[in-house]
Structure 1
C-alpha cells in the first residue's frame, strides 16, 4: 500500500509474473476467494493499527542516527588522536564497522518508507545515510531491494 496506490498499474505489471492459479481451497489475494481469510487479515490489521503498532517512534530513529554518527566520529577520532598503531587501528576498525552496520539497518528502515508518513522525508534521510555515511547509491539500493521483494531479476 505504501509503494503502489494504483492497483490497476500493479496488476498490469504483475500479469507477466502470473504462472498459474491456486487451488480453490488455497489462500488468494482476490477478494472473492477465501473471504474468511481476507476478513481475518483486515481485522488483524485494524487491531494492529488501533494499538499503534504501525506508528514509528521518530525519537528512536533520531537517537539511532545520532548514535550511528557518534560511533562513526569516535572511530575516526581514535585514529586521528592516538595515531595508527595496531591497537588503535583495531579499535577504530571495530567502531567503524559497528557504525556501518547500524547505518545499513537505519537506511533500510528509511528505504522501506517506514519512519515518516511522507515518503519524501524517508528518501531524503535514506539518501543522507547511504550517500554520506556509507558512500553508496540510495537509488541503486532501492532498485535492487525492490527487485528482491518482487523476486524478479533484470
Structure 2
C-alpha cells in the first residue's frame, strides 16, 4: 500500500451561458470542499464551422484565469467529435470522478417530465453522483 494521498476529481460540463456559469461555480465550490482537482469539459461535436458553445481565444483565456484565481487544481479539456453526454461519461470514467456537475435549464411542466435529452443521457450513463444545477429563475 502506497503512502500517496489520492486527490479526488470533480468534473464539470461547461458551456459559456448562465447554466455553464452556475455549473462551474458549484464545481469549483465542490472541488474546494473536497480537496479535489477540477476537470472542466467544454466540448464540441465538430459538425459546424462555428460552435458558439466551444470556447476559443479570449473566452478560453478568461476561463483559465478564473479557474487559476479560484485556487483549485484544474484542467480544461476541449474534445471534439462526440456528443456532450458521451464525452462527459468518458471523462468521468477516465478520471474516476467523485462527482459530475452539469447545468440544466428551467423547463415547463412537460419539459420537466421529459428533461433534456442530453441531461437525461448523462444521468443514465455516468457511474458517479451527478449534481444538476439550475440558474436563478427569470424575473
Give the number of the structure whose alpha-carbon radius of gyration is greater. 1
Larger proportion of strand: 2
TM-score bracket, normalised by the shorter chain, equals under 0.3
Q: Normalising to structure 1: TM-score of the pair?
A: 0.24
Which structure's relative contact order is higher, taking Cα pairs within 8 Å and 6+ residues apart?
2
TM-score normalized by the length of structure 2: 0.26
The structure in which a higher percent of residues are helix is 1
